[in-house]
Each structure stands twice: as structure tokens, then as C-alpha cells.
Amino acid sequence: MCTIVDVVFVTYKLPIGTQERSIMSKNAKTLAGIVIVVVIAIAAYFGFTHTGAKSTSDKTIKDLKVYFVPSKQPDKIVTATAPLKGLLKDQLKKEGYTVDNVDIKVGTSYEAAGEALTSGTADIGFIPGGTYVMYEDGVKPLLTATRAGLNKNFSDAAKWNDGKPTEQIKEQSSKYRSIFIAGPSAKGQELAKKVNAGQKLTWDDLSSAKWGLSSTTSSAGYIYPSLWLNKNYKKTVADLKNTVTVDSYGSGMARLASGQIDIMPTYGDARRDFAKLWTTDYQQPKSIWEETNVIGVSQEIYNDTISVSKKSKTMTPEFEKALSKAFINLAKTKEGKQVIAIYSHEGYEPAKSSNYDGERAAQKVLKNSQK
């Protein structure tokens, strides 16, 4: 069988007249031109196909590592977030990415989650703003969580203490407050009585109580309480004489119920989350609303973030965009809402670094207090 080039060569060698030879020469040139066009087209086709294959390969991710902070009982976080593996894969598939495996871990501390992101051993982190700011050299905020607002959002602590449950409202909010809860211990009740009578607590009142503090990167459990103390008393949590570190809000609530600590700073709707456990697991005789009081309230804090590692090779600008869409859409599904409810998240919106300037100011206060 002859190729196209063979046909051109044979035709040209036929014994014909000059005029015919001229005509055939022109035809040969035309045919040769066609050959070149065809060859270029074929090359372009295979080149396009090869490029496409490479693009597809770039959109296949072997492992996607997600870290969570231990703001609640770690085993409960693991159980609640297990469906995220499949849900996130499905949403990223819609954005053109194939993920082979989603690995979920709960950090032993807030710092552990921040360090994992900074080192690149974690790709994605569900972390509070305080943790993001502390590790922002290696961490980028992708999304800010939205939650149902609360019917109590007062800066005046006494207004939280009507003995009635704090209720959610329909309006979504990207902010919350840290509240300082006084428990049923004698000291806790003493401080609550003064606050509810409209009296301002003294530094001696606060310093003589036993505080349960969260990790140093916890916004509600450490950073904003320091900012509040600095604003009102020119002090920080570092100046408190009697403190213990709680590894989660759950263990802190248990200590508060038993009287091991008198005060615990936590997020605004924490009592809603632990209302059932208060009378069951913690075996308290009365409801959490009757036995606890708010004695201090911070300024508003921007909600938790979904942040990504700047060191992760997976985090390209294109993938970050796809990941943002995936989480926003995931939060709109029934199954997705059940997963993110473990952190009281209800949705997500694009994050702005400037939203966390309050965190930066608070951490500056902390650093200055340590000099």
C-alpha cells in the first residue's frame, strides 16, 4: 500500500509531455501542501489529546488531609465528620477534581492543628480565627463560617442571666461573642450575685476565682478574654493567679459543673450545646440555665475559618477556588449540614484576612503582657 507521499513521487515520474508534466507538478505541489496540512492537523490532535490527559492528571488528588480543632470531645468530632469524606469527594467531583482519599484527624490541641497546616502535613483546617492569626505565615483563611444568630447578644453580662435558654434566630451571623460562665461553686455564685445586682467586679474578685482556660490560640477560650481583661482592668489572663487548662469545652463544662473551676470563658451558645449533658453526664440537679451565670462578655468575634496550608502542594489557586465552591455547596445539603453542625456551622462565605484584625489586636496585647 502506498502512502500519500508515495503517490506524489510515483505520479511525478510518469512519462508525459511538458505541459502535462507542468500540470502534474502543480498538482503534486498542491497535494504536498495538503499532506503538510494533514500532518499538522494530526500532530495538533495528538498534542491536544496529550495536553488534555495531563490536565486530567493534574486534577486527580491522591490524599486530602483535613484537621479539626478539639473544641468538643474528639471522639464525637470524628464520628460526626466521618461522612465528610464522601460528601467532599462528591462536591469536588462536580468541580472537576477526583480525590482518592480524604483523611480526617482531630488535633490534640489548637496549636497542633495550626502547626500541621504550617508544616504542610495538613491541607485543610477547621480552625478559629485566633489559631489562623497565630499561624498566618503558613496558613490562609479560605472561608468564614456562618451560624444562626442568638436572641441574646448583649455586651452587658447581666442581661444573659434571666434563667431562660439562649435561643437561635433565623438570621445568619458571621460573628459571635465569648462569654465568661460562672458555675455553681460558692465562688462562682458569689461573682454572679454581684453582676446580677449591677455591681462591677473588681480585679481581686476575678483573680481569686479558679479559671478554666482553653488553648492559647482559642479565640473564645483565651484570646478575647485577655482583650476584655486588658480593656477593663489593664490585665490579661496571664495575670490570673489560679488557672487550669481545659483540653476541650466538654471537659471544661464537666469541671465547671463539679466545682473544680469557678469560671470558664467559652463561645456564646455553649450552654445550648451542653444543656443536656449538664443534667445527665454531669449529674447536676438543676438545668444549666439555673446553675450558671454570665459574668463577662467580649466584643464580637468573627466565626471559625476553613483555612488552607500555604505549604501544601495541593493548594493551587484553581483548587482553592474549587474547594471554596465545594464547601459552600456542601453546606447547603441536608447531609452536609449534619456534618458541620458539630461546630454549630450552618454555612460559609468567603473569608477576608482583615476580618480578623481583632484577633491580631488581642494577640498583640498578649505578647506585650509577656515582655
Please tell me whether residues 193 and 312 are part of one structural domain: no
Q: How many domains does the chain have?
A: 3
Q: Tens of pLDDT along 39-63?
A: 444 444 444 333 333 334 579 999 9
Which pLDDT belongs to residue 371? 66
Q: Kindly state the cell numbers that stand for 157.
A: 453580662
Please tell me whether residues 97 and 69 are part of one structural domain: yes
Please tell me whether residues 347 and 252 are part of one structural domain: no
Question: Rounded CA gap, 119 and 131, in Å?
Answer: 14
Please tell me whether residues 285 and 313 are part of one structural domain: no
Instruction: Answer with the one of 250, 271, 302 that is the final residue of a domain.
Output: 302
CA distances from 233 to 204, 262, 319, 338 (A): 10, 19, 46, 41
Q: What is the mean pLDDT of residues 67-76?
A: 91
Residue-number span of the structural domain to which 183 is assigned:
151-302
**8 Å CB contact between 237 and 178:** no
The phi and psi torsions of 212 (rounded to 5 degrees) equal: -105, 110
Lowest mean pLDDT among 11-15, 227-231, 261-265: 11-15
Higher pLDDT, 339 or 35: 339
Question: Rounded CA gap, 156 and 177, in Å?
Answer: 12
Please tell me whether residues 174 and 283 are part of one structural domain: yes
Which pLDDT belongs to residue 55? 38
Does the predicted TM-score (pTM) go above 0.75? no
Q: Tens of pLDDT along 110-134?
A: 999 999 999 999 999 999 998 999 9
Which pLDDT belongs to residue 348? 97
DSSP code of residue 215: -
Q: What is the mean pLDDT of residues 91-118?
A: 96
Please tell me whether residues 184 and 281 are part of one structural domain: yes
Please tell me whether residues 291 and 157 are part of one structural domain: yes
Please tell me whether residues 156 and 296 are part of one structural domain: yes
Which pLDDT belongs to residue 57? 53
Please tell me whether residues 91 and 185 are part of one structural domain: no
CA-nearest of 225, 151, 157 to 193 is 157
One-letter amino acid at 249 equals: Y
Looking only at the bridges linking them, the beta strands covering 293-302 and 211-213 are unpaired
Which pLDDT belongs to residue 330? 97
CA-nearest of 226, 249, 213, 205 to 72 is 249
Question: Rounded CA gap, 196 and 355, in Å?
Answer: 33
Instruction: Answer with the one of 285, 302, 319 that is the final residue of a domain.
Output: 302
Q: Tens of pLDDT along 293-315?
A: 999 999 999 999 999 999 999 99
Ramachandran region, residue 272 (left: φ > 0; alpha: ψ -120 to 50; beta: rest): alpha
Instruction: Answer with the one of 243, 278, 302 that is the final residue of a domain.
Output: 302
- Above 50 in pLDDT, residue 5? no
Which pLDDT belongs to residue 346? 94
Question: Rounded CA gap, 252 and 225, in Å?
Answer: 16
Question: Rounded CA gap, 335 and 350, in Å?
Answer: 21
Higher pLDDT, 368 or 191: 191
Question: Rounded CA gap, 322 and 338, in Å?
Answer: 22
Residue 270: CATH number of its domain = 3.40.190.10
Please tell me whether residues 176 and 270 are part of one structural domain: yes
Please tell me whether residues 158 and 253 are part of one structural domain: yes
Which pLDDT belongs to residue 364? 87
C-alpha 302 chain-centroid distance: 12
Question: Rounded CA gap, 7 and 333, in Å?
Answer: 64
Count of CB atoms situated within 10 Å of the CB of 36: 10
